[in-house]
Structure 1
Amino acid sequence: MPRQYRSTIALLALAAGLGACSSQRFDGPRVRAPAQQAAIDNIAPAMPSGAVTSAPLAPPPGASAAPDGAPIGAQASIAPPASNVIPEPVVAPPPAPPVVASGRASVVGAWDAKDATGASCKVTLSSAPALDLYKASAAGCPNKDLAKVTAWDFRDGEVYLYQQGGTVAARLRQGGGALDGALTKSGASLALVR
């Protein structure tokens, strides 16, 4: 677009903007120069005016007209909250039962072993690997089978205590904070407690 047309358009736009900002309230009717009016008429030709009407829009496809038969666009009245409503007291949830750890990590550590005769000794289940098992040790056990424990494993919710050579010395199941079971050879009961 040539430069002279850009200048003319900018000047006309400025004139139109200033004309739109004038108000009859302050200085009475404004009279424009015929050149100004002709320029404005060329930029924005007069649009025919007619009566403005309003009507509510139809509902979108798939939607019902209006709930409860109210005309579309009608304001729904909202009931004020009742002033005599008493809030319900907040009730604390019941305390959760104590979490008892289970699994291999929960049985690692030192235990007091008690057999059916009432004799007790120390059994330690280590997290250190020993081939495909874990290291274990027993100290001061009068029961010879329990005294030979050197390894352990946790399978299917049970603790297996092994002697040197892979013989199972005892099988125990978790129950609360203890391990309860039996010595394999004699079938006598055995419990490990912390």
Structure 2
Amino acid sequence: MPRPYRSTIALLALGATLSACASQRFDGPRTRAAPQASLDTIVPAMPSGTVTSAPLAPPPGASAAPDGPPPVGAQAALAPPASNVIAEPVAPPQSPPPVVASGRASVVGAWDARDATGGSCKVTLSSAPALDLYKASAAGCPNKDLAKVTAWDFRDGEVYLYQQGGTVAARLRQGGGSLDGALTRSGAALALVR
């Protein structure tokens, strides 16, 4: 017998063995063998009842035709009675209060610094990092402490201006559109405005 036929027969035998094992395993132990029908016996199909079909009714509140008018009475149910309609003036929606930005990002940029003596200069708070702080610069400041500002930070709602070496030159709080506070060494008032 040629080799392909032997492997086919072996596979069929293996399949029959596995199916027999599987049927005993899933059906449980058998106490007696069930009679088997021969392949020549044809079992007639059982008659079933008549099958009918009809379109489904539309869901409640939907029209039968997708583009058709709503069902009769649907418009009346949705519209209030004409005799009970009272026209009340509708107030225009109120705009929300303006949002005042706060936090580190809101203070980045150029500021005009004004001290208690009336002197003013430019202070720029950068978003560029400088170790644990952020870079800052001051230009044209008559106050020597303010002129030496090189860094800044925002902590606990306050802006700290630092001189080189880490000395705090000023502490300021946000108030509206400005930063108000004082110089650390003299205690003189300082304001930064845009």
Q: TM-score, normalised by structure 2?
A: 0.60
- Provide the C-alpha distance between the structure 2 equivalents of 1:180 and 1:17, rounded to a whole number of angstroms: 90
**Structure 1 unaligned residues grouped into runs of 5+:** 21-77
1:1-194 to 2 correspondences below 5 Å: 2-3=41-42, 5-6=44-45, 9=46, 17=50, 81=81, 83-194=83-194
Deviation at 1:3, TM superposition (A): 3.3
Provide the C-alpha distance between the structure 1 equivalents of 2:129 and 2:170, rounded to a whole number of angstroms: 19
Aligned residues with identical type, % of pairs? 81
- Give a deviation string over 1:58-113, Cα, whole Å, max 9, x none: xxxxxxxxxxxxxxxxxxxx9x7461321322212332221110000000011010
Report the aligned-residue RMSD. 2.4
Cα offset for 1:118? 1.1
Structure 2 CA distance, aligned partners of 1:144 and 1:17?
Answer: 104
Closer/same/farther in 2, CA of residues 103 and 17 from structure 1, 3 Å limit? closer
Structure 2 counterpart of 1:5, which letter?
Answer: P
Secondary structure of the residue aligned to 2:44 is helix
* One-letter amino acid of the counterpart of residue 144, structure 2: K
Offset from partner CA, 1:147-190 (integer Å, 9 cap, x none): 00000000110000000111100000000110000101111110
d(CA) in 1 for partners of 2:122, 2:147:
9
User: How many residue pairs get matched?
Assistant: 129
Correspondence for 2:30: none
- For residues 17 and 144 of structure 1, do their structure 2 counterparts lie closer, same or farther at Cα, with a shift above 3 Å needed? closer
Q: Which runs of 5+ in 2 are unaligned?
A: 1-36, 53-76
Q: Which amino acid aligns with 1:173?
A: R
Tell me the CA shift for residue 4 of structure 1.
Answer: 5.9
In the aligned structure 1, how far is the partner of 2:123 from the partner of 2:148?
11
Cα separation, partners in 2 of 1:17 and 1:185, compared to 1, 3 Å: closer
Q: Which runs of at least 4 in structure 1 moved beyond 6 Å after TM superposition? A: none
**Structure 2 CA distance, aligned partners of 1:112 and 1:104?**
18
Look up the match of 2:6. none
Aligned to 1:35: none
TM-score, normalisation: structure 1: 0.60
CA distance in 1, matches of 2:155, 2:50: 87
| 1:94 partner letter | Q
Q: Which amino acid aligns with 1:151?
A: A
